[in-house]
Amino acid sequence: MTAAVPVIGEVERRARLGRRLLLEPAVRAARVEAVADAVVGLHATDAATVYLSACARLAEPSAAEVERALYEDVSLVKLLSMRRTIFAVTEGFAPYVSSGAARAIAVKERATLLKHLREHAVGWDEARLAATEREVLAALAARGEATTKELGDDVPQLRETMLMSAGKAYEAKQSVGSRLLRLLASDGHVRRCRPRGSWVSSVYPWAPVPQWPDVPVREAKAEVVRRWLASYGPGTVEDVKWWTGWTLGDVRRALADVGARDVALADGAAALVLPGDVGATADPQPWAALLPALDPAVMGWRGRDWYLRPEDVPALFDRAGNAGPTVWWCGEVVGGWAQRADGEVVWRLFRDVGADGRAAVAAEAARLAGWLGEVRVTPRFRTALERELVR
């Protein structure tokens, strides 16, 4: 007789979200490395998101704590990886992310850059691109760190430009330097250093990095999926495929390699967890959170109906599918928030969360405003509700 497949319902999934993604106040972390590992990787496409996501999960929120890990200890590394998105991951996890995701993206980035150079610039071929890369790495080794503009003084070809989409309304010039440094970063040769200006600045220098240990691709992909299931499980095959950006074959192979076990969701859909991970979360506590645009909690799954009502999506996501700032109560998105020019953190709830919920949201807004201080944050990807709230 075949044993029944365990069912993991929405209440348990929300309890796991709060506990495993460190959003319950009682499980907040002391150091940002613990946060990054808990969420597998901090979204870093928008420079501010790393700080906001980390501080929402730190017992004592502090931009200085995030800067320590990123720029002093270099225990957090930013990689263009899953879904061709920039993630900040811990130094110990970086070799797996590099082998399992970043290097394949770097191959595609190199081919695309070479194609664009041939089509939109003069005198470029594979040999010149490789030679330029070597010159850039040599210049960085000599300088220690430098911005793309500063490297252009040492390697003049970085200042060359490509006219993209010529003749169209959205034509734009791209510098060879900006594309080449992005390629070297995705290939694991350089890293972003402390920004010039505040921590929300996007003007930053680059520095060379030592090469990570070589991890076999299959082993690396299995480790990425193992960590994802540990933090986000249960999840469907479609969730894993969307989050990683891999082929269906790669996803299924990695799930088999970690011995993922079948479970069912509340709606009967098939999902997976790590072996033995079917027990209930002990004593889940109520919690509220104000999470930033692209936070791992809202971007962790493709199927989101269990924590996000479909009718709220147009207000909270842009047209490209990027999540804006969200307000959470006990594992569900219940509204959105923004920071006004005077520093006030304002929010709007889409439904009644009761007196306790409203008080908890207000406390989180005060906590956020307190550590932000004089810093003003505008999401890179703006949403309808965020724009409305700052008027």
Number of domains into which the chain is organized: 2
Residue 197 lies in a domain: yes
CB 327 within 8 A of CB 347: yes
Q: Give pLDDT tens digits for 20-32.
A: 999 999 999 999 9
**Residue 269 DSSP code:** -
> Would you state the pLDDT for residue 35?
98
Percent of the chain with pLDDT over 70: 99
The CA distance from 146 to 162, in Å, is 22
For residues 128-150, one letter each, b for 16 or more C-beta atoms within 10 angstroms of the residue's C-beta and e for the rest, the string is ebeebbebbeebbeebebbbbeb
Q: In the Cβ-directed half-sphere of 169, how many Cα atoms lie within 13 Å?
A: 0
CA-nearest of 149, 133, 241 to 186 is 133
Question: How many whole angstroms separate alpha carbon 314 and alpha carbon 199?
Answer: 29
Check if the beta carbon of residue 316 is closer than 8 Å to that of residue 385. Answer: yes
Tell me: pLDDT of 363 over 60.
yes
Q: Is residue 256 part of a domain?
A: no
**CB-based burial label for 45 (10 Å; 0-12, 13-18, 19+):** middle
208, 243, 262 - which closes a domain: 208
Among candidate residues 158, 177, 208, the one where a domain is terminated: 208
Is residue 271 in a domain? no
Percent of the chain with pLDDT over 90: 85
Within-domain flag for 183: yes
Q: Tell me the backbone φ, ψ of residue 290, rounded to 5 degrees.
A: -110, 105
Strands 261-265 and 7-8: parallel
**Mean of pLDDT over the chain:** 94
By mean pLDDT, which of 93-97, 195-199, 310-314 is the weakest?
A: 195-199
Q: Is residue 203 part of a domain?
A: yes
Assess if residue 56 is contained within a domain: no
Categorize the per-residue pLDDT at 1 as very low, low, confident or very high, splitting at 50, 70 and 90.
Answer: very low
pLDDT exceeds 80 at position 169: no
Tell me, what CATH number does 199's domain have? Answer: 1.10.10
Domain membership of residue 232 (yes or no) is: no
Alpha helices in the chain (DSSP H): 10-20, 32-38, 47-55, 63-67, 94-97, 103-120, 126-143, 148-154, 176-186, 217-232, 237-244, 248-257, 313-316, 354-372, 384-389
- Crossing angle of helices 354-372 and 47-55, in 10° steps, is 130
Domain that holds residue 305: 288-389
Q: Which of 33-47, 63-77, 167-181 has the lowest mean pLDDT?
A: 167-181
Of 208, 225, 254, which closes a domain?
Answer: 208
For residue 1, being part of any structural domain is answered with no
**Smallest Cα–Cα separation from 208: which of 197, 194, 193?**
193
Give SS3 for 175. strand
Determine contact, residues 63/48, Cβ cutoff 8 Å: no
- This prediction has a pTM of 0.93
